[in-house]
Amino acid sequence: MSAPSPPGALPAGLRAEVEAWMAEDPDPATRAELAALLAAGDRRELESRFGRPLRFGTAGLRGELGAGPARMNRAVVRSTTAGLARFLLAQGPLAAQGLVVGRDARHQSARFAADTAEVAAAAGVPVHRLDEALPTPLTAFAVRHLAAAAGVMITASHNPARDNGYKVYVADGGQVLPPADAEIAAAAGPLGPGAPVPAPVRPVDRAALVSAYCAATLALLDANGARQVRAVYTPMHGVGGAVVPELVTRAGFPPLIPVREQMAPDPDFPTVAFPNPEEPGALDLALTTARREGAQLVLANDPDADRLAVAVPDRRGGWQALSGDELGILLAERVLARTSGTDRLVATTIVSSSMLAALAAEAGVHYAETLTGFKWIARAADARAGTRLVFGYEEALGYAVNPAVVADKDGMSAALVVLEMAAEAAAGGEGLLERLDRLAARLGVHLTGQYSLRLEGDDGPGQMAAVMSAFRDAPPDSLAGCAVSAVADLAQGADGLPPTDGVRLRLGESARVVLRPSGTEPKLKAYLEVVTPPPGAAGLAEARRLAGELLDALRDEVASRCRAAAQGATSAP
């Protein structure tokens, strides 16, 4: 990294932009941060903070805490809320239904939630404030439950401790979609003179809200179903512990076995490198607890409890974490067995397993693929007249088992359904892995995997673009010895989907690769799938072995090509 420029060497335009931002920044800590950077003449750091302002991505605004428009801070929160308030007031009477404001327990979440409530109320939008740190699905639930005009959840979900975010829901309870997100961003800015009569800020009755959520969620279960299962639970230092144990007890299951080191909210996430249950090592303490306690199941929420990870005993005496696709197909089968109607629709994303399509065809229900993100999954039925979404999932551990109640991913209701599945399987002398075997035997092995390349720093965006360009403009003729039969540039739109930055390569009927930049982290992601014909029970082991070999080879070659393209971008003059 180059040394900072000497004081006074900053371009006049950049200095003026920083000083104008400081004049509007309500936080003395971030004003001091920028003042120090100005005094040091740190051009690189200031350009990093002002060059690419935060934009609505897959799940709203999300970024590192700090000063400037490219960081999460009070000025960004207040400006965005002013834009949201203007957007709502432009809808007419709808704005009077109010804005739900919720938060998790991350650094600055309480302050950002207070700013959101203050600015919205000053603009004339009533506020329903969730005073405690509570899970994201409760904010999504509250929007519908309270018939609000919109909702804001202050959270960065499973991101590192240095991050926070601002997630927006609209009146249908789902996340904001384009072009509304762009309209909110365009309307952002200082609030200016407040409303003639500021709107009220009313605390939401926490007990009543949780009770209503629990009642709606318990309706998913068989009232006379099995309940005996020993399950370990961790909220991963987040807010799931505020609701999940209570939900489980109300359902009649034995009390969860807590991972004590991770039960209390802690914004520093001290026991995990990344507070994401997908990350290697994130479940280590939960698995240690499960072995010590002789448990049958491990349940792990991410810090805002909208995702769920599950681990089960394997056939060798150890433990196996289920992938998002594996748990997704188990939950889909469960939901379809408990619902009826020819209007039923199940949905997943273009980067998730195609096994859901095979299950839907077998069950005779509608199936849809959407872009990545639950803002798309939750509305999969909107463009399909006469259909009703009963289940949706994405491979990144997100599941909607009750989309009529929570129009977003919900790791709490999913945990409850998994508990019932595990209890019933145990009562029948089997486990969830046996259920996966039966699905694969009759639908075909659908083996999925990922490769992720973190591309941080000033060079990251250029490297990301170079990798995407390499696959988009000069795609390989073959991968892992299999001919590439079709290439789709998702930026041009494909299969009726809105344009998105991604490339999909198909290798006949046997494999698929989708590459896309992450919408929440500085990562390039490659999503891989290998599919076999239905092998039957007798051929299942061999089909899995062959699929595994092809998946490994595919991952290795995709990774090599991605690294080479990124390195080429860095070394280019």
Residue 379: pLDDT band (50, 70, 90) is: very high
Residue 494 has a pLDDT of 80
- Cα torsion through 528, 533, 536, 542, rounded to 10: -60
Q: Which helix (H) or strand (E) holds 187?
A: helix 180-187
Mean pLDDT of 71-78: 97
- 313's enclosing H/E stretch is strand 308-313
**pLDDT 10s digits, 392-404:** 999 999 999 999 9
Q: Is residue 201 part of a domain?
A: no
Q: What DSSP string describes 355-424?
A: HHHHHHHHHT-EEEEE-SSHHHHTTTTTTSTT-EEEEEEETTTEEES-TTT-SS--HHHHHHHHHHHHHH
Please choose, from the candidates 554, 556, 570, 563, the residue with its C-alpha nearest in 3D space to the C-alpha of residue 467: 563
Domain end point (choices 156, 188, 220) = 188
| pLDDT confidence band for 305 (50 / 70 / 90) | very high
User: Residue 518 has what pLDDT?
Assistant: 84
Q: What CATH number should be reported for the domain holding residue 168?
A: 3.40.120.10
Q: Which residue has the tokens 């990093």?
A: 48
pLDDT in tens, 80-133: 999 999 999 999 999 999 999 999 999 999 999 999 999 999 999 999 999 999
Phi, psi of 21 (to 5 degrees): -65, -45
Predicted confidence at residue 94, as pLDDT, reads 96
Which residues 6+ apart lie within 8 Å of 406 measured at CB?
A: 137, 140, 141, 144, 173, 400, 413
Q: Check whether residue 149 and residue 61 sit in a common domain.
A: yes
Amino acid found at 61:
L
Look at residue 199 and tell me if it is in a domain.
no
pLDDT band, residue 1 (cuts 50/70/90): very low
- pLDDT of 7 above 70: no
Determine the Cα–Cα distance for residues 233 and 246; give it in Å rounded to an integer.
12
Nearest by Cα to 58 from 347, 376, 467: 376
Confidence of residue 571 (pLDDT cuts 50, 70, 90): low
Enumerate the H helices of 252-319 as residue ranges.
Answer: 284-293
CA-wise closest residue to 332 among 307, 367, 380, 304: 367
Instruction: Give me the percent of the chain exceeding a pLDDT of 70.
Output: 98
Asked if residue 504 lies in contact with residue 514, where contact means CB atoms within 8 angstroms, the answer is: yes
Whether residues 459 and 534 fall in one domain: yes
Distances, alpha carbon 203 to alpha carbons 127, 291, 507, in Å: 8, 42, 54
- Co-location of 460 and 424 in the same domain: no
Among residues 48, 109, 157, 353, which one is catalytic? 157
Please state which of the ranges 52-61, 216-225, 358-367 shows the lowest mean pLDDT: 52-61
Q: Do residue 82 and residue 142 come from a single domain?
A: yes
Percent of the chain, pLDDT > 90? Answer: 88
Instruction: Assess contact for 170 and 91: CB atoms under 8 A.
Output: no
> Is 481 found in the same domain as 399?
no
Whether 206 is in a domain gets the answer: no
Q: Check residue 197 and give its pLDDT.
A: 81
Same-domain check for residues 412 and 521 = no
Q: Which one of 440, 470, 490 terminates a domain?
A: 440
pLDDT for residue 573: 55
**Domain's final residue, options 394, 417, 440:** 440
Domain with 448 in it: 444-571
Mean pLDDT over residues 300-320, rounded? 96
Residues 302, 362, single domain; the answer is no
CB atoms within 10 A of CB 250: 15
pLDDT above 80: residue 565: yes
CA distance 87 to 183: 7
Same domain, 90 and 111: yes
pLDDT value at 377 more than 70: yes
- For the segment 333-347, the average pLDDT, to the nearest whole number, is 97
Within-domain flag for 26: yes
Closest Cα to residue 454, out of 165, 159, 236, 161? 159
As a whole number, the mean pLDDT across the chain is: 94
> Measured between alpha carbons, how far is 432 from 443 in angstroms, rounded to an integer?
17
Same domain, 456 and 496: yes
Considering the domain boundaries, does residue 408 fall inside one?
yes
- Domain membership of residue 74 (yes or no) is yes
Does residue 485 have a pLDDT over 50?
A: yes
Domain count, the chain: 5
- State the DSSP string of 225-266: S-----EEEE-TTSSGGGTHHHHHHHHTPPPPEE-GGGSS--
The conformation of residue 176, written as its DSSP 8-state character, comes to P
Would residue 207 count as lying in a domain? no
CATH number of the domain encompassing residue 470: 3.30.310.50
For residue range 423-466, list pLDDT tens digits in order: 999 999 999 999 999 999 999 999 999 999 998 887 888 899 99
Contacts of 145 by beta carbon, 8 Å cutoff, 6+ apart: 209, 212, 213
Q: Report cis status (omega within 30 of 0) of the bond before 179.
A: yes
DSSP states of 539-561: HHHHHHHHHHHHHHHHHHHHHHH
Taking a C-beta distance cutoff of 8 angstroms, is the pair 54, 70 a contact?
yes
What is residue 477's DSSP assignment? S
pTM: 0.93
528's enclosing H/E stretch is: strand 523-531
Residues 475 and 363 in one domain: no
Residue 21 clears pLDDT 70, i.e. is over it: yes
pLDDT reported for residue 493 = 84
Let me know whether 342 and 458 are in one domain.
no
Task: Look at residue 2 in the predicted model and tell me its pLDDT.
Answer: 43
One domain for residues 253 and 366:
no
Residue 284 lies in a domain: yes
Provide the phi-psi class of 30: left if phi over 0, else alpha when psi is between -120 and 50, else beta.
alpha
Give the pLDDT score at 59: 73
Q: Which two tokens stand for residue 235?
A: 């909220």
Give the DSSP H or E segment for 305: none
469 carries an active-site annotation = no
Q: Please state the separation of Cα 130 from the chain's center in Å.
A: 21
**pLDDT tens digits, 288-303:** 999 999 999 999 999 9
User: Which alpha helices (H) appear in 134-173, and where do they start and end?
Assistant: 136-145
Determine the pLDDT at residue 57: 80
Taken in order 328, 329, 334, 337, the sign of the CA dihedral is positive
